[in-house]
Amino acid sequence: MKSYNIAIFGCGIVGSGVARILLEMNKELSQRARHTIQLKRIVELRPKTASGKNNIPLDLFCGGGKDLTAEEAGKYIDEIIHSDDIDLIVETIGGSNDFIYDTAVRICDAGKHLVTANKALLALRGKGIFEAARKNKVSIGFEAAVCAAIPVIKTIKESFTGDSIISVSGILNGTSNYILSMMQNEKLEFKEALKLAQEGGYAEADPTLDINGYDASHKLILLAKLAFGIDITLEQLSPIGVENIKREDIDFAEEINCKIKLVCYAKRENGKIYAAVKPMMVKNDNFLSSVNGATNAVRLINKYSGRHILVGSGAGSLETASSIVADIVFIARYAEKMKYHIEQTNYDFIDAKHFVFPYLIVFKTVDIPGITGLVTTSIGNQHINIDTVSHNRHIKEYAVFSIATTPCTLKQIDDAIAEIKKNRPDVLLGEPKVMPILY
């Protein structure tokens, strides 16, 4: 069999997992790829640390196993990109800065295939990288960029080519889901649940990108591009994270037979695309409500084949590495027959304010008689039907209660809140919390 040569840029948690699988499964992978898969070179600043993680021979590392400066690593990267001996490069350095972006483009320009788990890079700056791949007729494998070992990218790209995807929804961030699950099941406040997530290794010391919805948004941007052929920006999504979810919100969810989840949601309707990343009230008979802990899940609804659900581990060294290796094998075997771009469509992206959903609105107000009537009247004035009104929680000098609506637009709700502020500017203690109800 012809040799197919691989280089890895960055050999940390994920990169070392890739190297381990390539070495341990070399015979099986070569048979599947119909090429002799050869891991030829690794660029890593701290090779001894990387080697120790997964027993990787030091002679595979550029520099012979000694630590590298950033300048030395850069020279080796340049050398490998321009080498005739390398067919495919795995990028597991991470980040979306200019150096990483330029490296990805240069890999494609050099006629080499690229495999990466770098969701931020592809979501925020992928347009130039995909264009470089198309121009140079090389492939980009990025299965590991969304939900690690769950084969959602391949499912959308290949398994559903005979169907039309209507909606994609899912729990795409394990950290936020673990926190919300602990709040739900252990009756904890957010800070307590976050601390447990960090102690258990489910959250980073700086969990910002997980809890503010940005990590999940990067993944949804990629799924929407694949499912609908539309480029969505982070600014258009305006993600809302879970850091402001309180115990009382969990209680309100239970009252209407829901659980709160950070949901990524995109839907095609009448030539328009709606997408959002925000906490949602997920009905208990929706499968996503039962996805707990750090597990990820994706629900796809198709025009002809109906509902499909993919569930599994969305992170981890070997889980992510296994998806990267799957892309390597697939590209090695089929690269000559693969197309090198994602079809674009002319769908319009519509603002979330105009998409119809039932909503739960949580109000924090001064504790005065008639406050519920005042609020419900303003909601009714915007032609919104009310489904249920919760009992008031009287806490010191204020009251907290929720109102569940029938389907309406977010603009109608915003107008109702504006009316309350205009008529009684003294009653609202902070902005009401508005969460879609997902059936």
Structural contact between residues 44 and 10, judged by C-beta atoms closer than 8 angstroms: yes
Spatial separation of the C-alpha atoms in residues 172 and 223, rounded to whole Å = 11
Which residue in 297, 29, 289 sits closest to 152, CA to CA?
297
Spatial separation of the C-alpha atoms in residues 254 and 269, rounded to whole Å = 30
Query: How close are the terminal C-alpha atoms of the chain, in Å?
Result: 52
71 φ/ψ angles, rounded to the nearest 5 degrees: -65, -45
Size (the chain), residues: 439
Structural contact between residues 348 and 272, judged by C-beta atoms closer than 8 angstroms: yes
Angle at 299 between CA 296 and CA 301, to 5 degrees: 170
Q: Which residues pair with 437 in a beta bridge?
A: 281
The angle that helices 317-334 and 26-33 make with each other, rounded to 10 degrees, is: 40
From 53, 157, 187, 219, active-site residue: 219
Per the listing, tokens 């264009």 go with: 131
| Number of other CB atoms surrounding residue 212 within 10 Å | 17
Which residue in 174, 231, 223, 160 sits closest to 203, CA to CA?
174
Residue 223's identity, in one-letter code, is L
Per the listing, tokens 């890895």 go with: 8
Please confirm, yes or no, whether 219 is among the known catalytic residues: yes
Which active-site residues does the annotation give?
A: 219
